[in-house]
Amino acid sequence: MIHDFTLIQKQNRLEEILREMGSTAVAYSSGVDSTYLLYEAHKVLGERAFAVTAVSCFFPQRESEEAENFCRSRGIRHLILTIDELENPGIRQNPQNRCYLCKSALFSHLKQTAADEGTAFVSEGSNLDDLGDYRPGLKALAELGIRSPLREAGLTKTEIRALSQEAELPTWSKPSFACLASRFVYGETITKEKLAMVEAAEEYLISLGFHQLRVRIHGDMARIELEPDAMKRVFKDNMAEQIDHKLRELGFSYVSLDLRGYRMGSMNAGIEELR
């Protein structure tokens, strides 16, 4: 049981926000934040809250399946939208404001879906920590009137994990995730073929037992980010050679290990002036 009074206050505030909203379509990715938001929304609003998952080449198949399984197990209504971000040349060219363009397109679809369902709001799982990085997508959310109840309640990622564990949600210890487009260096054209390479490379590393990771793509080079302790494993039992061989099979010409390790927003280095 959670005894942190401040955290309990934030949870209560979250539930107050959801009650005030009255109904919501939750943008659901099966990640830590959106799962907790969906859990609370369904607890507070019942059938007046439902999940919407946008399936595309930016969204790994594994995440889509986890989203479906969670909603099915909890009896939560779940709508699936199929979209293709790469139809938009601006997104495909991967400018520094790609996330803004993606969020604008995605949440415009979600707003229409909510309107068709007679639902008052669309909500999504940004938390307080998301204000600390270059996040042009937040501007798109604000322009469209998308609600971020976790952020409004002042909840951080660590607090959301603690509340998720208390609620026995399967995602409480799940690694942080971002869409596959975030693996591309700005200015490099995003293609379905390269997205598939990145997804397959990350799935392979997960199959080897690695937990929090990214495979960033720079042309024909893969830059692997792992947690510091996990990096030690790469050089044991010929694992480096195995990984190199597998990623070359997937289409990469060069495979590197980032000595700084896993970190959120590493592709945003050098663009602090845009924050």
Beta sheet of 254-257, edge-to-edge order? 213-218, 221-226, 254-257
Helix (H, G, I), strand (E, B) or coil at 52: strand
Sign of CA dihedral 56, 58, 59, 62: positive
Structural contact between residues 85 and 58, judged by C-beta atoms closer than 8 angstroms = yes
- Angle at alpha carbon of residue 132, lines to 214 and 274, rounded to 5°: 90
Helix H segments across 124-172? Answer: 137-144, 149-152, 157-166
Task: In whole angstroms, give the CA distance from residue 54 to residue 106.
Answer: 8
Instruction: Decide the pairing of beta strands 213-218 and 221-226.
Output: antiparallel
Determine the Cα–Cα distance for residues 173 and 162; give it in Å rounded to an integer.
9
Q: Which of 71, 99, 102, 179 is catalytic?
A: 179
Cross-strand pairs, 247: none
Residue 37 exposed, middle or buried by CB count within 10 Å (0-12, 13-18, 19+): buried
Please say if 179 is a catalytic residue.
yes
Burial of 209: CB neighbours in 10 Å, binned 0-12, 13-18, 19+: exposed
d(CA 161, CA 153): 15
Q: Which residues are catalytic?
A: 179
